[in-house]
Structure 1
Amino acid sequence: MRIGMAFGDVRGPSPLPGIAQQIQEAAAAGVPAAWLSDGVGWDALTALAAVGPRLAAGGIELGTGVVPFAQRHPLILARQALTTQAAVGGRLTLGIGAGISRMVGSMYGLPTDRPARRLREYLEVLRPLLRGEPVDHRGEYYTASSALALPADSGSTVAAPSVLVAALGPAMLAVAGELADGTITWMTGPRTLTNHVVPSITRASGGRAPRVVAGFAVCLTSAEDAVRERFAEQFALAGQVPEYRAMLDREGVAGPADVLLAGDERSLTNQLARLAGTGATDLMLAPVGTAAEQDLTTAFLATIGG
């Protein structure tokens, strides 16, 4: 199981140069994947395009975890993704999601009904565009008739990036298994990964081996109870979001603090070993807490590799 790290909004507001430095340090330490969240702060694809050229060729994977697609027409997202892919030397993994329905509806005034049907149609348009194929689509939710004009001899890498989908419910996992390369989860505990996420997307994949990137907040600490209490306060609203609440209920826990990875080195090692047995292929770990706690957690994660 590969152990990557998450950066961006999920760890709290940070200046873009600071995020770039964090990713550079992770790459230098041998971390195999850096995932940049996309919330209400920096645009993840633009930020990765800025960071990528500073990194050594090859090496660390750069992923979005995840870009909400509801407010981006698939033609626009395909252009953004391929531009970023060229800028980062072909190391992009495009993670997308329907977005938290309350935010999509209240911030953008966009519909949030039938997310799995919208996702299916979106992927049917997006994936050919990422492969450089023309589309002529007039569907229930999207109209797209165009092809992207990217120079084949530009010297930049514009191969189609792998596409992962933030999928939690059965219908979304079915679409992700059929039309994407895998899924990215967040605050979804080991029992739910083992009994729900991994088997559901594997069944839908038709014999392929889907990638399952399991995202968790993590904190190396000797004051575990205090850290969990603080995390419970900071992420209380997340526990009320229907999408996350459903997964917490499946796990049989009260709130986000119950799926936080926290403890000393021995405890964290045991918690990570349990996750390795879930069938997830990757971890996307976001150090949280004070700046000092995040630094200690980052240093520990760099030592265990992936």
Structure 2
Amino acid sequence: MPVDIWLNAPLAESASRAAELRALGVDGVFTFEGAHDVFMPLTLAATADVDLMTNVAMAFPRSPMHLAHTAWDLQSLSGGRFRLGLGSQIRPHIERRYGSVWSEPVERMRDTVLAVQAILRAWQHGERLDYRGRFWQHTLMTPQFDPGPNPCGVPPVLVGALGPRMTEMAAEVADGLLVMPFNTERHFRERTLAAVDKGLAGSERPFEIIVEAIVAMGDSEERVAGARLAVRNLLAFYGSTPAYRPVLEVEGWADLQPELNSLSKQGRWRDMAGLIDDSMVDALTVSGSPADCARRIRTRFGDSVSRVCCYFPGYQVADAEIAGLVAALHS
């Protein structure tokens, strides 16, 4: 199973860190929309012999033309190893942090994906650009702004999704699905895969499913315990968000979401983490030694996904531990 690792390094060290991860056996690196730009580290890392992916870039504040140009250039820089992963975020962040527009997120994402794909096809195949969607219209492409066919091919466009409608839409129009990290095996198998099947509706076109796993890993009991403690903060943050309630609901924990949400509005982050018990950590993450984590990833997702993104939030993981995890997933 191919393995992608979060490119967690200072910007100036992005290229060297990507090369180090490649030397550990890692197949690819990914970035997400956090405290820094999502594309810049991948631009620097393109010199390393690794796959590159945004997991995810926020779609709604960006024009499809901007997204297409960036994806085109990263595909060229990396020699054809780039995936454009797009996500919707939630309304408060889109409106209040990005100062952008939020409405009908599923249909807006559909329109964005189709617009980006239309632009990429126009460049690659010389088609006339004439995309007219509900939210985006792209009808002008003069030679001065057309990069021409990409010798590395068209970069795939993937969608990050959790809910059934967004997941189904991704299966209808995108090249792949990025399964959000706040997930359990039961939710993934009962709801995510069902929505994918509905969206594909018997289609035999290539469709990639990439899962992101929250990993609490260590090479000793003490290190595993520290990692499990660290990931509770992230789980509490995710669990406070109404959009993630369906994951808690399927496990019988739906009442926890409004309680976490109330505490978040009071800034009581430590109290929130205290509500995440061991059974929740077990269900929402994979934890243990590198070999244990690899085995649990395979059990939970291995028969349904094409590759896995491993995320180590809030704690330091040793390179030797990463190498052990990757080797176990490759074997």
- Normalised to the residue count of structure 1, the TM-score between the two structures is 0.85
Structure 1: which amino acid aligns with 2:73? T
> Match of 1:231?
231
SS at match of 1:229: helix
- Conserved 8 A contact 2:65-2:119: yes
> Match of 1:93?
83
Structure 2: which amino acid aligns with 1:62? L
- Conserved 8 A contact 2:25-2:323: no
> Match of 1:130?
120
Structure 1: which amino acid aligns with 2:79? G
SS at match of 2:39: helix
Structure 1: which amino acid aligns with 2:33? D
Tell me the CA shift for residue 33 of structure 1.
Answer: 2.3
Tell me the CA shift for residue 225 of structure 1.
Answer: 4.4
Report sequence identity in percent. Answer: 24
SS at match of 1:90: coil
SS at match of 2:138: strand
Q: CA deviation digits over 1:118-165, x for unaligned, max 9?
A: 11111221102122244333433222222351145xxx7452101110
Tell me the CA shift for residue 78 of structure 1.
Answer: 0.5
> Match of 1:7?
7
Return the index of the structure with the highest Cα Rg. 2
1:246-261, aligned counterparts within 5 Å? 246-252=246-252, 257=281, 258-261=283-286
1:1-306, aligned counterparts within 5 Å? 1-8=1-8, 14-41=9-36, 43-53=37-47, 55-56=48-49, 60-131=50-121, 132=123, 133-147=127-141, 148-152=145-149, 157-185=151-179, 186-205=181-200, 206-221=203-218, 222-223=221-222, 224-252=224-252, 257=281, 258-277=283-302, 279-291=304-316, 293-306=317-330
- Distance, in Å, in 1 between the alignment partners of 2:82 and 2:289 is 33
- Distance, in Å, in 2 between the alignment partners of 1:49 and 1:233 is 30
Tell me the CA shift for residue 98 of structure 1.
Answer: 1.2
Q: CA deviation digits over 1:81-128, x for unaligned, max 9?
A: 101111111111111111233311221232323111111111221102
Q: Given the superposition, is the C-alpha separation of residues 102 and 247 from structure 1 closer, same or farther in structure 2, using an over 3 Å criterion?
A: farther
- Conserved 8 A contact 2:234-2:313: no
CA RMSD of aligned residues (A): 2.4
- Distance, in Å, in 2 between the alignment partners of 1:28 and 1:157 is 27
**Unaligned ranges ≥5, structure 1:** 9-13
Q: Given the superposition, is the C-alpha separation of residues 68 and 188 from structure 1 closer, same or farther in structure 2, using an over 3 Å criterion?
A: same
SS at match of 1:165: strand
- Conserved 8 A contact 1:192-1:250: yes
- Conserved 8 A contact 1:217-1:288: yes
Q: Given the superposition, is the C-alpha separation of residues 82 and 158 from structure 1 closer, same or farther in structure 2, using an over 3 Å criterion?
A: farther
Q: Given the superposition, is the C-alpha separation of residues 249 and 70 from structure 1 closer, same or farther in structure 2, using an over 3 Å criterion?
A: same
Q: Name which of structure 1's ranges 31-40 and 174-183 shifts more when overlaid on structure 2.
A: 31-40
Q: Name which of structure 1's ranges 220-229 and 20-29 shifts more when overlaid on structure 2.
A: 220-229
Q: Given the superposition, is the C-alpha separation of residues 99 and 139 from structure 1 closer, same or farther in structure 2, using an over 3 Å criterion?
A: same
